[in-house]
Amino acid sequence: MKDTIEGLSDQVAGAASDIGAAAREQARRGLSHARANAGAVAADASDRLSAAADIAKSRASSLGDSLEDVVRDRPLSSVALALGLGFLFGVIWRR
């Protein structure tokens, strides 16, 4: 009976060791897969951020060109608007 229990105990220990090895291998594969996906996600985010920055830069340039055209076409109105905005900001800032 004692030999049977020892044999059964060895079998259980061997099975537990095999399960642990399988779990470690699966965890290693999952980590490797996660690392590969993280790189792809970072590259995609970088591409999207670059595209958004290019669009913002283009729009800012377009706005600057439009503003420059307005100032050249109506210089007195532009100066009056600038003075009015400066006064408004000054009043708000004082409070």
- Residue-number span of the structural domain to which 11 is assigned: 2-94
Per the CB < 8 A criterion, the answer to whether 78 and 85 are in contact is: no
pLDDT bucket at 2, cuts 50 / 70 / 90: low
Place of tokens 């965890």: 27
What pLDDT shows up at residue 38?
A: 82
Residue 1: the pLDDT is 65
Q: What is the pTM of this model?
A: 0.46
Q: What is the pLDDT of residues 29-74, one digit of tens each?
A: 888 887 778 878 888 888 899 999 999 998 888 888 888 888 889 8
User: Long-range contacts of range 18-23, CB-CB < 8 Å, 24 or more positions apart?
Assistant: none
- pLDDT tens track for 72-83: 898 999 899 899
CB 32 within 8 A of CB 39: no
- The structural domain count of the chain equals 1
